[in-house]
Amino acid sequence: MGQTIGVKEIEYLAIGAAVLGTGGGGDPYIGKLMAQKAIEECGPVTLLAPDEVPDDALVVPTAMMGAPTVFFEKIPNGDEALHSLRRLEEYLGKKAFAVMPMECGGLNSTIPFVVAARSGLPLVDADGMGRAFPELQMETFNVYGVSGTPMVITDERGNWCLVNTVDNHLLEYIARGITIRMGGVGHIAEYPMTGKEMKETSIHYTTTLAINIGKAIVHARERLENPLEGMGKALAESNYGEPLVLFEGKIIDVDRRTVEGFTRGTVTLEGLGTDAGSHFKVEFQNENLIAYRNDEVVATVPDLITFLDLETYKPITTEGLRYGYRTICIGIPTPPIMRTTEALEIWGPKYFGYDLPFIPVEELAKNVKRGRS
Amino acid sequence: MGQTIGVKEIEYLAIGAAVLGTGGGGDPYIGKLMAQKAIEECGPVTLLAPDEVPDDALVVPTAMMGAPTVFFEKIPNGDEALHSLRRLEEYLGKKAFAVMPMECGGLNSTIPFVVAARSGLPLVDADGMGRAFPELQMETFNVYGVSGTPMVITDERGNWCLVNTVDNHLLEYIARGITIRMGGVGHIAEYPMTGKEMKETSIHYTTTLAINIGKAIVHARERLENPLEGMGKALAESNYGEPLVLFEGKIIDVDRRTVEGFTRGTVTLEGLGTDAGSHFKVEFQNENLIAYRNDEVVATVPDLITFLDLETYKPITTEGLRYGYRTICIGIPTPPIMRTTEALEIWGPKYFGYDLPFIPVEELAKNVKRGRS
């Protein structure tokens, strides 16, 4: 049976998942503390490879839903997502065999470990986004035909709803309405599925990848390595492509607002080092969506666009972006399952309102001349 | 066992309930057709006196929730509220002994008959508002301690949510959010309660009262009676006070908009007959809330303020108010259970944002000199 995840691995996971989270998926700090506390109290969590799950077993993704901005002020009590899982099990009349993350992100990669530790259930090393996305239908589970409902959403006061919808877009729309009325944050158990469905529709080994990326960043300094090298090695062992440096610069403006349950905005940078004289802009909706270098598109959703602190190489969420930060922005090519025509209909640039085609970041990178423009 | 309600009684009920609905509770026409069709297909409905319900039986109020304006355009398929009832029964693990209305109103007095006819359940002759109100916590059930949840809300497409909240104000807030995301209208089963709770917290015999008022209006002409006389007789046999004429006039302006799931606005009239030279204004939020005669308050929520067509004496909903209509506006004193301090905290003028005390309409009427001002 799979590897064991303890307090140390959660430390790495929180960092690596925030890299894959492409600015979204919540604040890694709170999620990390919550998962570590749960593991300290209840013991380590077994991480299962997707193939270790029986085809007919019930697998349930759990997550935080809402605006990360609000999450900072409404810290959960830690039992909300487990409560959602339990109510969902009761409704289905079946016990979950394992839980899993819905997405990669500082918070939504760690929160499922709280549920796993407190319930004693194993966690599957896979998820439904391969990054973070702002909406519930943006999951490979939906792209490849799994129903998102029945789902349960619980808030920190104990209010909860069981939601059933005729399609997964309506699930997003109605559950988002509930989240807003819960004060901007809810905790969900959704897309209950069989082991077979999970194997066929999820992005595999993303927890392991996140842990390896986090480890590379944390230990780069003591190994006198460039953290991007270690990150590159971790990615080379995965379905993702190698990390590409999109820009090195200082943040000169952040325009961020909370709108209809989402954190939306734009961050603007001016170049440093080889990028001095150039400028750079990223538009985000919870997650970074489109990167422009000197007004030319250099990366588009669903490829990963992540800001790292220029000093520590730790990832910065869209929440954490501040005037004056010196950062390096990287692009990471996403796995083929996230770039199919069906998948791009659900989360390509057009869905987010951009009149842009998806072009793989590795293609776009070929046209970018970094250095003084 | 109680009386039997057929197609004819529904005809009266729709009219009388719209009088008690004080402008709200939905359009009587659609509700009437739905209830009559259900009775034609499934047979008449047994109306139970509150005392006929065993103390430990499960009683479930059902209703339409949302903006009547929207209801005109999203006509239900007729099974939504029954679906909500069935899902609620499944969740509770108990079958309902009877259904009941949540409020009086053209639609919400008749819709529970659709559920009763199609399920074969009897309907209790009582409700939780004694009129129509715009919010779910505005029920005597809430005033006197019954939990509104678990509740179920279903839309015409088949989307549905089971809602559990820690109090009934949050039920209103969260369920309203769901209703808005369902497109403005949902169909609910709420405040599941015991027979004992129903007897102690409901307003009794409101269906009978509504039928009697409707009958008085319909048959007044053939009896060469003033419809207000027959209405007065029906009310004299109830816990309500006698009807008072507040104004007779022509509508000269209607300002109506749909805001956050509610129909809000103001209607203005100029006097006719003994009221010639005076003006009159009513402010509403789904229901008529405050009536002003020559800028003086003459009736306040929760007392009933209802517009009747000056020709037919049929009630006009806030939806139906139109420029040029000649109407008579009446006030009806509500029963004591609706005027207690606890009750007025939930639905007095202050709750709706008016800096006005509740003064019984029969008190206010003493100060009104009708006739040329």
CATH code, B360: 2.40.390
Separation of alpha carbons A366 and B220, rounded Å: 87
Quick one: A184 and A52 in the same domain?
A: yes
Residue A230: inside a domain, yes or no? no
Please spell the DSSP secondary structure of A91-132, one letter per residue: HHTS--SEEEESS-STTTTTHHHHHHHHHT--EESEESSSS-
Residues of chain A predicted below pLDDT 50: 372-373
What pLDDT, on a 0 to 100 scale, did the predictor assign at position A70?
Answer: 75
Residue B373: inside a domain, yes or no? no
Residue B184: inside a domain, yes or no? yes
What pLDDT, on a 0 to 100 scale, did the predictor assign at position A25?
Answer: 78
- Which amino acid appears at position A300 of this protein? T
Residue B210: inside a domain, yes or no? no
- Which amino acid appears at position B150 of this protein? P
Residue A157 forms contact with B (CB below 8 Å): yes
Residue A209: inside a domain, yes or no? no
Separation of alpha carbons A302 and A133, rounded Å: 9
- With contact defined as beta carbons under 8 Å apart, do B174 and A161 qualify? yes
Length in residues, chain A: 373
Separation of alpha carbons B1 and B49, rounded Å: 8
Between chains, do A161 and B166 touch, taking CB under 8 Å as contact? no
Share of chain A above pLDDT 90, in %: 84
Q: Which residues contact A93 (CB under 8 A, 6 or more apart)?
A: none
Helix spans in B220-269 (H): 227-236
Q: Which residues contact B203 (CB under 8 A, 6 or more apart)?
A: B126, B127, B128, B129, B130, B140, B239, B335, B337, B338
Quick one: A268 and A195 in the same domain?
A: no
What pLDDT, on a 0 to 100 scale, did the predictor assign at position A221?
Answer: 79
Residue A165 forms contact with B (CB below 8 Å): yes
Domain's final residue, options A204, A221, A256: A204
Angle between helices A7-20 and A206-219 (to 10 degrees): 100
Minimal CA–CA distance to A61: which of A157, A139, A131, A171? A139
B351: region left, alpha or beta (phi > 0 left; psi from -120 to 50 alpha): alpha
Residue B219: inside a domain, yes or no? no
What pLDDT, on a 0 to 100 scale, did the predictor assign at position A371?
Answer: 55
Helix or strand holding residue B56 (H, E): none
Is the ipTM reported for this complex over the cut 0.85?
Answer: yes
- Work out the burial of residue B120: count CB atoms within 10 Å of its CB; fewer than 13 is exposed, 13-18 middle, 19 or more buried: exposed
Between chains, do A161 and B174 touch, taking CB under 8 Å as contact? yes
CA-nearest residue of chain B to A183?
B174
Residue A178 forms contact with B (CB below 8 Å): yes
Residue of A174, A187, A188, A260 to mutate for B, most B C-beta atoms under 10 A = A174
CA atoms within 13 A on the CB side of B97: 17
Helix or strand holding residue A14 (H, E): helix A7-20
Which range of residues forms the domain containing residue A359?
239-367
Q: Determine the distance in angstroms separating the CA of A301 from the nearest CA of chain B, rounded to an integer.
A: 27
Minimal CA–CA distance to A20: which of A263, A348, A299, A333? A333
Q: Please count the other Cβ atoms lying within 10 Å of the Cβ belonging to residue B117.
A: 26
Quick one: B62 and B193 in the same domain?
A: yes
CA-nearest residue of chain A to B157?
A166
Paired tokens of B238? 């109830």
Between chains, do A166 and B176 touch, taking CB under 8 Å as contact? no
Quick one: B98 and B175 in the same domain?
A: yes
What residues in A contact B180, CB-CB < 8 Å? 177
What pLDDT, on a 0 to 100 scale, did the predictor assign at position A373?
Answer: 44
Separation of alpha carbons B285 and B265, rounded Å: 7
Residue A222: inside a domain, yes or no? no
Compute CA B189 distance to the chain's CA centroid, rounded to the nearest angstrom: 16
Digitized pLDDT (tens) for each residue of chain B, 373 residues in all? 569 999 999 999 999 999 999 998 777 888 899 999 999 999 999 999 999 999 999 999 999 998 766 777 777 888 999 999 999 999 999 999 999 999 998 789 999 999 999 999 999 999 999 999 989 999 999 999 999 999 999 999 999 999 999 999 999 999 999 999 999 999 999 999 999 999 999 999 999 999 999 999 999 878 888 899 999 999 999 999 999 999 999 999 999 987 776 778 999 999 999 999 999 999 998 899 999 999 999 999 999 999 999 999 999 988 889 999 999 999 999 999 999 999 999 999 999 999 999 999 999 988 777 654 4
Total domain count, chain B? 2
Helix spans in A107-226 (H): 111-119, 140-143, 168-181, 195-201, 206-219
What pLDDT, on a 0 to 100 scale, did the predictor assign at position B371?
Answer: 55
Q: Among B166, B170, B177, whose Cβ lies nearest the Cβ of A177?
A: B177
Q: Determine the distance in angstroms separating the CA of A76 from the nearest CA of chain B, rounded to an integer.
A: 16
CA-nearest residue of chain A to B177?
A177
Quick one: B180 and B322 in the same domain?
A: no
Q: Determine the distance in angstroms separating the CA of B189 from the nearest CA of chain A, rounded to an integer.
A: 14
What residues in B contact A180, CB-CB < 8 Å? 177
Quick one: B255 and B154 in the same domain?
A: no
Quick one: B70 and B189 in the same domain?
A: yes
Helix or strand holding residue A317 (H, E): none
Dump pLDDT digits (tens) for A17-39. Answer: 999 999 987 778 888 999 999 99
Between A and B, how many CB-CB pairs are < 8 A? 50
Residue B213: inside a domain, yes or no? no
Residue A359 forms contact with B (CB below 8 Å): no
Cα maximum dimension of chain A: 63
Quick one: A120 and A21 in the same domain?
A: yes
Q: Among A165, A170, A178, whose Cβ lies nearest the Cβ of B177?
A: A178
Quick one: B106 and B243 in the same domain?
A: no
Quick one: B133 and B75 in the same domain?
A: yes
Compute CA A358 distance to the chain's CA centroid, rounded to the nearest angstrom: 19
Between chains, do B163 and A164 touch, taking CB under 8 Å as contact? no
Between chains, do A159 and B180 touch, taking CB under 8 Å as contact? no
Q: Which residues contact B326 (CB under 8 A, 6 or more apart)?
A: B249, B250, B272, B309, B310, B311
Residue B90 forms contact with A (CB below 8 Å): no
Quick one: B49 and B184 in the same domain?
A: yes
What residues in A contact B186, CB-CB < 8 Å? none
Q: Determine the distance in angstroms separating the CA of B295 from the nearest CA of chain A, rounded to an integer.
A: 37
What pLDDT, on a 0 to 100 scale, did the predictor assign at position A261?
Answer: 66
Quick one: A23 and A130 in the same domain?
A: yes
CATH code, B189: 3.40.1610.10
Q: Which residues contact B6 (CB under 8 A, 6 or more apart)?
A: B39, B44
Helix or strand holding residue A145 (H, E): none
CA-nearest residue of chain A to B159?
A165
Q: Determine the distance in angstroms separating the CA of A150 from the nearest CA of chain B, rounded to an integer.
A: 9
Domain's final residue, options B180, B204, B228: B204
Paired tokens of A108? 């939504």
Residue A219 forms contact with B (CB below 8 Å): no
